[in-house]
């Protein structure tokens, strides 16, 4: 007997439809005066089978009696049939309203019947209309003729409602209504098992229908079920609330991940019927792919009549699981005998699923080889297929591929709090909350790492207070602890990563293993850099290009993709989800270097595992030296070219690598150079203390070399002198040390003057300017005076270089601005920039002065265009605070004077752009209080120009003009203050 002719199944589908419509009717009256719903009608009454459910109010009156009729999909109903179904309900039961609910399509007569009942009229008019409608149904006309007027009066209160939704659409509508109700009551639903709740309530209706003593379903109990706690839903077992689950499904996760669940739901909802939709969940081992699939089924369980869970880790486990699927489809039990070979099992499953009368879900979990799985996926059938796989590179045809990344910070904290038996995160003290967040971040918000860490801490009797001890000494141990593995997971995180590395190694040893071999080197280097936006070409070049064998002394080194398998190596890493693609590096330096900006990301906890898994060996110092050289090249090139947004990304890699190198105690000349240039980046970020520490480490490394690089040592020492000379060093001034550093610079410059004149001039120029700084001039020290004189004599002897002339030109442009010659300053800045002699801070200083010169001449459009170029160089980075603050301070003054005196409205655009620049607010922490007051005054003038009088008044009442300072420079600002106050009064 075919399934479509199976009377038992048809009856079951009819009851399912009836009870779902009952639940929907109960949702309709949640806010009504109905107190209870009687399933299968009142007890002991005549023709009780005519009532599928009725609704009773607080006074015991029946407000609605309903009959539900279900037929096979595509069936129709006539007027005579609908009248015959409705008549017993009306004749034998007294109710305020009656309903016939059916999923049948109405023929024209049935539609006329519904229209006639809905129209107002007397009993006689209704009788006449029905008589005409039932002219071809003599038996129904006789029943109509026998009705009394009071019975016709009841019939006029009846409705026939045709509902053409299929079961899946009906369930989806119920789920969304329940979701809305729970959200309105602040209970939420989302990933907290909506399907289970719908199924559970439907099961409740079924139980009450089967037991007459329990047939009264109170609305208060219904509301309790609707608002059941989410954790109760999440922990409920599949056997109780779902349809059949064939296979071993993992537990439903108790921490919701709606950000990952929503795209999965969306992908499957859009699928056409009879063509299974496919979604592939990819990501590294332990990231939560299987848990996400289980969470989806918990949320949408009522959509499916049966759920198949297949373990596809090996061909053998997959065949065994599909034998269970075939047995269930054949016998209704997964334990049925099967001796069919693989092709036979596959054909049997595909045939059965193609004609299965309900909807099915097939989860193929832990796919080891996507190519072997493809042939098992059914091509037709009313179902959905979810695959979970590590391989993010495989071709999954038309499937939607979703990368399952780490948890959000809040999700990770919630998971840790539950495993450590802590209160809810919002109930934790501020210190506890911060510690929990720090622990989650240290574990990369990686689900398996979180589980292992919590299990390890709990097994040792440790808690949140022991976080520091755990992170310092126990973290890697926990990630390898087999006692802490969750019950549903086969291996530790270190074991999972090691398995991937073993498989990658096996591919590297094959005949075409060049890409896999490069991939191993790239991932090894990636473990020592930042976790986000790792440049693919940097990693690959660090593996292949030995800086000792290149003639290029500066700049980043790139591989030719036609000669080196860079992209293929990245694919090898993605094959095991060790990495994922990330956003390209910003501000491409050279558009001809196609692909050089592509990056990948690695989870931080995978980096921890890689550093613990890949052993150090005799060649490690050379490998780190090579990596340091490439990272330094990329980072320094971005800084020198003023691609500051790009430099900010590369800074994270240089900084992370430096910390690891310092920790393991590896040093070389190239590593020292990395530290020195990293110190310069810390300097332009305003962190002088860290910059000093790095410079001292650089000097120590260089001095320990068999042949110390004196140039790098002198450069580092002069930078330390600069910090002291400008008063930005947190350490007290050590005059003797400063004199020793300057003496070293003088001696070294003298030594190289003949063979490297420009380098010597550059060092002498820097030393001379430092010695002429007010702080060093104020120090009475004979050595400093002697060194100053010697520097000037040697500089005069050697003469200037193109570089020092450009620096002198910047100083001259500054003096021109101070003496009221902005046109001369403008021309000097343009000459400097056209010659391309300066990079980094020098170039930015020239651009700043150019903008200030243009504003002083009221060339507003040109000034605005130059500012837009300067701002593009910064991007969202916070560097060169002196450039930022000086520009807004000086150009802001020119804009403010023009606006406040009413000379010109054009500067409003520039001033608005300046005060909206995010870098301005980052710079406020690095300027004096007087500077801060002036910048806020500029902002107030912008507010005045834009008509924000309230902000101006608030500023005038909350700031004292004395805060602008008492220097000669402040007089202009005090005038602006007074003009602002007068303008504010005029506005009043």
pLDDT band, residue 878 (cuts 50/70/90): confident
pLDDT band, residue 556 (cuts 50/70/90): confident
Query: For residue 304, what are the contacts with CB-CB under 8 A and spacing of at least 6?
Result: 243, 297, 358, 359, 360, 361, 383, 384
pLDDT band, residue 301 (cuts 50/70/90): confident
More confident: 220 or 300:
220
Q: What is the mean pLDDT of residues 858-867?
A: 94
Rounded Cα gap, residues 839 and 812, in angstroms: 18
| Residue (of 538, 527, 478) closest to 501 by Cα position | 527
Q: What is the mean pLDDT of residues 682-708?
A: 94
pLDDT of residue 3: 43
Q: What is the mean pLDDT of residues 933-962?
A: 72
374-429 pLDDT, tens digit per residue, is 999 998 998 999 999 999 888 887 899 999 999 999 999 999 999 999 988 888 88
Please give the mean pLDDT across all residues of the chain: 86
Please count the other Cβ atoms lying within 10 Å of the Cβ belonging to residue 869: 11
**Residue 878 backbone class (left: φ over 0; alpha: ψ -120 to 50; beta: rest):** beta
The answer, yes or no, to whether residue 889 has pLDDT greater than 90, is: no
Residue 924 DSSP class: G
Rounded Cα gap, residues 903 and 855, in angstroms: 13
116-120, 302-306, 509-513: least confident range: 302-306
Please count the other Cβ atoms lying within 10 Å of the Cβ belonging to residue 982: 11
* Location of structure tokens 């049948």: 104
Residue 638: both structure tokens together: 């971005």
The answer, yes or no, to whether residue 188 has pLDDT greater than 90, is: no
pLDDT of residue 958: 65
Burial of residue 416, with CB atoms counted within 10 A of its CB: 0-12 exposed, 13-18 middle, 19 or more buried: buried
pLDDT of residue 595: 75
Rounded Cα gap, residues 417 and 409, in angstroms: 12
pLDDT of residue 187: 47
Count of helices and strands (H, E) across the chain: 45, 17
**By the 8 A CB rule, do 496 and 452 touch?**
no
**Residue 489 backbone class (left: φ over 0; alpha: ψ -120 to 50; beta: rest):** beta
Strand partners, 106: 77
The answer, yes or no, to whether residue 1 has pLDDT greater than 60, is: no
The proportion of the chain whose per-residue pLDDT surpasses 70, expressed as a percent, equals 89
The answer, yes or no, to whether residue 737 has pLDDT greater than 50, is: yes
819-852 pLDDT, tens digit per residue, is 999 999 999 999 999 998 899 999 999 999 999 9
Rounded Cα gap, residues 521 and 543, in angstroms: 6
Q: What is the mean pLDDT of residues 915-931?
A: 83
Q: What is the mean pLDDT of residues 631-656?
A: 94
740-758 pLDDT, tens digit per residue, is 999 999 999 999 999 999 9
**By the 8 A CB rule, do 451 and 419 touch?**
yes
- Give the SS3 label for residue 119: coil
The answer, yes or no, to whether residue 46 has pLDDT greater than 60, is: no
**By the 8 A CB rule, do 146 and 157 touch?**
no
463-475 pLDDT, tens digit per residue, is 999 999 999 889 9
Residue 249: both structure tokens together: 């499904």
Burial of residue 139, with CB atoms counted within 10 A of its CB: 0-12 exposed, 13-18 middle, 19 or more buried: exposed
pLDDT band, residue 239 (cuts 50/70/90): very low
Buried b (16+ CB within 10 A) or exposed e, 393-406: ebebeebbbbbbbb
The answer, yes or no, to whether residue 551 has pLDDT greater than 60, is: yes
pLDDT band, residue 192 (cuts 50/70/90): very low
The answer, yes or no, to whether residue 910 has pLDDT greater than 70, is: yes
142-146, 558-562, 865-869: least confident range: 558-562
């Amino acid at each position: 007997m075919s399934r479509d002719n199976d009377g038992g199944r048809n009856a079951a589908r009819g009851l399912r439809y009836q009870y779902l419509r009952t639940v929907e009717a109960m949702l309709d009256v949640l806010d009504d005066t109905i107190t209870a719903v009687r399933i299968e009608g009142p007890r002991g009454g005549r023709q009780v089978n005519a009532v599928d459910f009725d609704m009773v109010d607080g006074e015991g009156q029946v407000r609605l009696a309903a009959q539900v009729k279900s037929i096979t999909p595509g069936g129709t109903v006539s007027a005579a049939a609908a009248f015959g179904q409705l008549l017993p309900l009306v004749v034998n039961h007294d109710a305020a309203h009656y309903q016939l609910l059916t999923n049948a399509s109405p023929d024209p007569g049935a539609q006329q019947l519904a229209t006639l009942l809905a129209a107002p009229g007397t009993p006689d008019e209704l009788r006449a209309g029905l008589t005409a409608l039932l002219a071809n149904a003599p038996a129904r006309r006789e029943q109509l003729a026998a009705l009394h007027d009071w019975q016709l009066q009841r019939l006029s209160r009846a409705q026939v409602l045709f509902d053409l939704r299929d079961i899946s659409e009906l369930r989806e509508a119920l789920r969304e209504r329940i979701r809305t109700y729970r959200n309105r009551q602040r209970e939420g639903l989302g990933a907290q098992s909506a399907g289970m709740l719908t199924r559970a309530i439907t099961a409740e209706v079924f139980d009450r229908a089967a037991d007459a003593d329990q047939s009264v379903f109170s609305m208060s109990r219904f509301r309790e079920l609707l608002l059941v706690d989410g954790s109760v839903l999440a922990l409920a077992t599949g056997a109780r609330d779902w349809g059949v689950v064939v296979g071993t499904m993992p537990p439903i996760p108790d921490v919701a991940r709606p950000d990952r669940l929503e795209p999965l739901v969306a992908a499957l909802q859009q699928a056409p019927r009879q063509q299974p939709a496919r979604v592939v969940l990819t990501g590294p081992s332990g990231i939560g792919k299987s848990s996400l699939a289980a969470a989806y089924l918990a949320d949408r369980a009522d959509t499916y009549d049966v759920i198949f869970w297949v373990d596809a880790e090996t061909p053998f486990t997959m065949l065994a699981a599909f034998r269970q699927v075939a047995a269930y489809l054949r016998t209704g039990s997964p334990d049925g005998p099967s001796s069919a070979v693989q092709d036979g099992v596959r054909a049997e499953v595909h045939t059965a699923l193609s004609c299965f009368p309900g909807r099915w879900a097939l989860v193929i979990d832990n796919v080891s080889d996507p190519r072997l799985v493809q042939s098992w996926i059914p091509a037709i059938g009313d179902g959905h297929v979810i695959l979970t796989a590590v391989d993010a590179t495989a071709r999954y045809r038309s499937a939607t591929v979703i990368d399952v990344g780490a948890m959000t910070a809040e999700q990770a904290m919630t998971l840790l709090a539950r495993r450590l038996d802590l209160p809810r995160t919002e109930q934790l003290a501020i210190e506890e909350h911060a510690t929990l967040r720090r622990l989650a971040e240290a574990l990369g918000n990686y689900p398996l790492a979180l589980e292992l860490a919590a299990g390890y801490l709990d097994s040792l009797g440790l808690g949140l207070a022991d976080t520091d001890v755990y992170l310092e000494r126990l973290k890697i141990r926990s990630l390898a602890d087999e006692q802490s593995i969750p019950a549903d997971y086969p291996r530790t995180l270190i074991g999972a990563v090691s398995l991937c590395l073993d498989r990658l190694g096996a591919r590297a040893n094959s005949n075409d293993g060049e890409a896999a071999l490069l991939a191993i080197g790239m991932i090894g280097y990636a473990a020592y850099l930042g976790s986000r936006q790792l440049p693919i070409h940097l990693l690959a070049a660090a593996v292949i290009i030995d800086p000792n064998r290149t003639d290029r002394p500066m700049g980043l080194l790139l591989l030719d993709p036609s000669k080196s398998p860079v992209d293929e190596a990245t694919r090898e890493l993605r094959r095991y989800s060790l990495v994922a693609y990330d956003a390209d590096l910003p501000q491409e330096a050279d558009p001809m270097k196609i692909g050089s900006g592509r990056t990948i990301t690695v989870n931080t906890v995978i980096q921890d595992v890689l550093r613990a898994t890949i052993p150090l060996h005799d060649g490690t110092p050379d490998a780190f030296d090579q990596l340091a050289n490439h990272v330094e090249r990329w980072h320094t090139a971005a800084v020198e070219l003023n691609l500051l947004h790009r430099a900010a990304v590369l800074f994270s890699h240089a900084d992370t690598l430096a910390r690891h190198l310092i920790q393991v105690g590896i040093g070389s000349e190239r590593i020292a150079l990395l530290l020195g240039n990293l110190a310069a980046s810390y300097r332009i970020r305003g962190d002088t203390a860290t910059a000093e520490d790095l410079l001292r480490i650089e000097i120590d490394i260089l001095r320990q070399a068999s042949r110390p690089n004196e140039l790098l040592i002198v450069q580092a020492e002069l930078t330390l002198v600069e910090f002291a000379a400008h008063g930005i060093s947190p350490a007290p001034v050590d005059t003797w040390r400063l004199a020793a550093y300057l003496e070293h610079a003088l001696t070294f410059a003298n030594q190289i003057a003949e063979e490297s004149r420009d380098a010597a001039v550059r060092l002498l120029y820097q030393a001379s300017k430092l010695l002429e700084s007010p702080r060093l001039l104020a120090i009475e020290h004979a050595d400093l005076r002697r060194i100053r004189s010697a520097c000037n004599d040697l500089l005069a002897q050697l003469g200037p270089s193109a570089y020092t002339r450009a620096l002198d030109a910047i100083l001259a442009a500054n003096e021109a601005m101070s003496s009221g010659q902005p046109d001369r300053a403008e021309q000097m800045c343009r000459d400097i920039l056209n010659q391309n002699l300066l990079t980094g801070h020098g170039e930015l200083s020239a651009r700043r002065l150019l903008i200030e010169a243009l504003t002083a001449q009221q060339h507003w459009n040109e000034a605005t265009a130059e500012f837009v170029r300067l701002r593009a160089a910064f991007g969202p980075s916070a560097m060169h605070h002196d450039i930022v603050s000086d520009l807004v301070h000086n150009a802001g003054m020119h804009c403010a004077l023009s606006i406040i005196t009413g000379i010109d409205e054009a500067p409003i655009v520039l001033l608005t752009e300046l005060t909206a620049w995010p870098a301005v607010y980052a710079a406020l922490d690095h300027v004096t209080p007087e500077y801060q007051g002036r910048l806020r005054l500029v902002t107030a003038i912008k507010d005045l120009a834009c008509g924000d009088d309230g902000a101006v008044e608030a500023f005038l009442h909350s700031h004292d003009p004395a805060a602008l300072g008492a220097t000669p420079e402040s007089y202009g600002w005090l005038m602006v203050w007074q003009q602002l106050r007068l303008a504010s009064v005029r506005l009043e």
